[in-house]
Chains A and B, each alone.
Chain A
């Protein structure tokens, strides 16, 4: 099966064509640099995304603290991760970079605050 995708590894935005069998990439064409191949393999075999959202922070100077995961997580778990983040409340001052959850959703990723607030 052929799959087409736009490479976003760099701003050249190559249009890639991948030959895929059983969710494994057999070959890639259309890429102008080796990054394209790495991107396509990852994107087809195990797409990953960094999650960014907000958690509530009642009592702090801002209502919401923006957060991110320190590493990308499997794309299909984004929605679930958002729901989990919604349940978090922060009541103490935070600094950008503070870890809010160590092993978020047992995914071995950290959830970190991206804003400082008192």
Chain B
């Protein structure tokens, strides 16, 4: 059993920013757990620009933004990084059970920050009826396939939802040679940033159908087409508006869900609708000495806000440790 002062679960921007802020406040024994084999979290696959305009007054790409933190974390003797480490269980006494290749460890921390990020809402959560062929991907998975693995998920694509990931992927797919047929959005206007609507859709003449929904996915083995219908302001299908779009791929970009299963497991008070822990102030959960930072606590639009708030959570963890020391 190891007993560090502070354990942070997740080494994306939130976890790294919280770790560095706690270190700056004087915490000397920080363990940063990361499931992936690299630091940086989701930023590693966000190769497009638009990060850091507030924090660094720079237009960084995701990996560049991450790099600002990675270099500092790697240079900090107070922060021990454990990669390929999966926190599988969390008990109310602040014991984390972690698996990594060749090891199972119980880690009992004096304070814990969960910076576990979020997952994508899936086709199943909307839900879109129809068959379940190959070629239906969460947009973030498609992004990972293209930007980290060099795999093109499909050649003719329809994107469900106009969140920023979906818009970014519309451009990325087009530039890599796929044809994006349309973006289908249930709301009356795009959910993404205006700059993404302009530079990702308008630049490539990709139609954005607002107040529409995919009513059905077709195809036995691989996606063959989707059926689409216009909806009224109560989101009911408008009769006579149905049409089909042929495609071999459907990307789903309909929002994100905070990942807080470990906190829930340990009995933290939860807002089950948002899947976030109930916090009485930024980052402070109902369990003493247990904090939440970044998208796990609240879905942010900008990474700059994630790191800004996570630094404050890191400081709170330090204050907690000082208070009970």
Contact = CB atoms under 8 A, between A and B. Distances in A.
- A–B contact at 8 Å CB threshold (below): yes
Interface of A: 5-6, 8, 11, 13, 49-50, 52-54, 56, 61-64, 66, 68, 75, 78-79, 82, 96-97, 114-116
Interface in B30-50: 37-38, 44, 47-49
Among B47, B62, B198, B199, residue most surrounded by chain A Cβ atoms (within 10 Å): B47
27 contacts: A5-B198, A6-B194, A8-B194, A11-B194, A49-B199, A50-B59, A52-B47, A52-B48, A52-B49, A53-B47, A54-B47, A54-B146, A54-B147, A56-B150, A61-B38, A62-B148, A63-B148, A66-B47, A68-B47, A68-B49, A78-B175, A82-B175, A96-B67, A114-B61, A114-B67, A115-B44, A116-B70
Contacts of B61: 52, 66, 68, 114
B203 interface: yes
Interface residues of B, number: 28
Contact of B148 (A6, A50, A64, A75): A64
Contacts of A64: 147-150
A49 B64 contact: no
Which 4 residue pairs of A and B lie closest in terms of their CB atoms, listed nearest first? A8-B195, A66-B47, A13-B194, A115-B63
Contacts of A96: 63-64, 67
Contacts of B63: 66, 96, 114-115
Contacts of B176: 53, 82
B118 interface: no
A116 B63 CA distance: 9
Contact of B175 (A6, A53, A56, A68): A53
Contact of A62 (B38, B70, B198): B38
B197 interface: yes
A114 B47 contact: yes
Contacts of B203: 49, 75
Given A8-B195, A62-B38, A79 B175 contact: yes
Given A62-B148, A63-B150, A114-B67, 19 more contacts: A5-B198, A11-B193, A11-B194, A52-B49, A54-B147, A64-B148, A64-B149, A66-B47, A66-B61, A66-B147, A68-B61, A96-B64, A97-B64, A114-B60, A114-B61, A114-B63, A114-B64, A115-B64, A115-B67
B5 to A, nearest CB: 29
A6 B259 CA distance: 35
